Amino acid sequence: MRPTIRHIVYITGKPPRQAKGLTLIELLVAIAIAALLATWALPNYQRFSARNEVSAEVLRLKTALAQARNSAVTRRTTITVCPSRDRLACDGSDWAAPLVIVLGSAPGGDLSDTTLLRELPPGRGIQVSFRQDLRPVRYTALGRSAGHNGTFRLCGRLGTGAQVILSNLGRVRVVSTPDC
């Protein structure tokens, strides 16, 4: 009598092939663990994302102010920073709009006679306010912003926020604020 293939596999000590996969209990445990991790991680991720949005806006403002101050000192002339959607006039009420850095003082917020040095893109969903008199920020040839100093207030999602404080000497500092 000749042995069949089944007997040969069994004689060699290898068990016969078994079906591979998960049992229903193992699958339910894996889904439960994934659901617990998602409910724990999602709120933390949302807060992380909101803080990063505010940080990006702080960096945008600090970059615009630093470039304007450096240009004023380097060129030995007045440099103006203001928000402008159309590049024709300053819109001092919405600092989340594109920021323009122009050569000169831009009297009355009119940008038609000025040279555009740089335009920074608009902010992404963060509310930015600066003073109530709607004036732009101007740096003198010495890099000072005397008379144009103030505090930028940034408010993001989930109560995240920050303040960018511009001193009379033209220096910038940042303060985190948990409330807006």
CATH of the domain at 171: 3.55.40.10
In a domain, 10, yes or no: no
* Cβ atoms < 10 Å from Cβ of 174: 15
Q: Distance of CA 94 to CAs 20, 76, 90, 142, 177, Å?
A: 61, 28, 10, 27, 20
Total of domains in the chain: 1
- Nearby residues of 121 by Cβ (< 8 Å), 6 or more positions away: 60, 98
Query: Within a domain: residue 7?
Result: no
- The sign of the CA dihedral 55, 61, 66, 71 is positive
- The string of pLDDT tens digits covering residues 127-161 is 998 887 788 999 999 999 988 889 999 998 888 89
Residue 40 forms part of a structural domain: yes
Domain that holds residue 64: 24-177
Q: What is the pLDDT of residues 77-117, one digit of tens each?
A: 999 999 999 888 888 788 989 999 999 988 888 888 889 89
pTM for the structure as a whole: 0.77
Spatial CB neighbours of 129, under 8 Å, sequence gap ≥ 6: 95, 152, 153
